[in-house]
Structure 1
Amino acid sequence: MTDAQWARIEPLLPDRAPRRGGRWRDHRQVIDAIAFKYRTGTPWMDLPEQFGSWKGVHNRLRIWAADGTWSA
C-alpha cells in the first residue's frame, strides 16, 4: 500500500488499543496482509511470516467486519 493510500484510510480505522489485552499489531501491516490474502487467494494459514500471525490478521478482519469498520 502506498503512503497516499494509507493516509486516506488510516483515520477510518479504530484506535490501536483494543478494549482488552495489549496493543494491536500495526494496522497498516494487517491491511497489507488482508490485501495479500485476497489478491493471491492464499489460505489464511499460508500467509507469509512478514505479516505476523495469520490468526491475528484473521481475527482483526472478523472484528472489523462485526464492528462496522469495513463499512465506513
Structure 2
Amino acid sequence: MGRGDLTNREWSLLEPHLPSAGGRGGRWSDHRTVINGILFRVRTGVPWRDLPERYGSWKTVYERHRRWSADGTWDRILQAVQADADLAGRIDWSMVGVDSTSCRAHQH
C-alpha cells in the first residue's frame, strides 16, 4: 500500500456503497486498487498515463473515474458515506457554511 492509499478502515466504510464488481464486458479490476489510483492522480496532479503501475492500467483507472463521474456513482457514494457518518454522530452540521460573496480582480 502506498502513502495516501485507503486504509483498511476507510475501505471498510466505502466498500458497501460501491457498485457490484462486474458488468459490461466482464469482470472489473479491483475497486480498491482503481480508487487508490484515482486518489493518487487527484492528490498529485500527474497525467493519467503517468500513474504508477501498482494501480493497474491507467486506462482502466481513467475509464472507471470517467464512467462513475458521468453516471452519478461518485455523488451516490458521497451521499451514502455522509449519511452513515451522520447516523454515527460524526458530522457536525452546524459547522457548515455557505459564502456567496464574489471577488473581482482587474488587471490595473
Q: Distance in 2 between matches of 1:69 and 1:7?
A: 18
Q: Distance in 2 between matches of 1:66 and 1:16?
A: 18
Which of 18, 30, 35 aligns to 1:13? It is 18
Counterpart in the other structure of 2:46 = 42
Aligned-residue Cα RMSD (Å) equals 0.8
Amino acid of the structure 1 residue aligned with 2:26: G
CA deviations 1:11-69 (Å, max 9, x no partner) are 11101011x21100000001100000111111100001111110110000011111211
1:31 equivalent in alignment to 2:10? no
Structure 2's unaligned 5+ residue stretches are 1-5, 77-108
Higher RCO (CA < 8 A, seq sep 6+)? 1
Q: Distance in 2 between matches of 1:38 and 1:66?
A: 17
Counterpart in the other structure of 2:82 = none
Q: Distance in 2 between matches of 1:35 and 1:66?
A: 17
> TM-score scaled to structure 2, two decimals?
0.63
Amino acid of the structure 1 residue aligned with 2:30: D
Q: Distance in 1 between matches of 2:71 and 2:13?
A: 20
Aligned length: 71
> TM-score scaled to structure 1, two decimals?
0.93
**Larger gyration radius, structure 1 or structure 2:** 2
Alignment identity in percent?
56
Counterpart in the other structure of 1:3 = 8
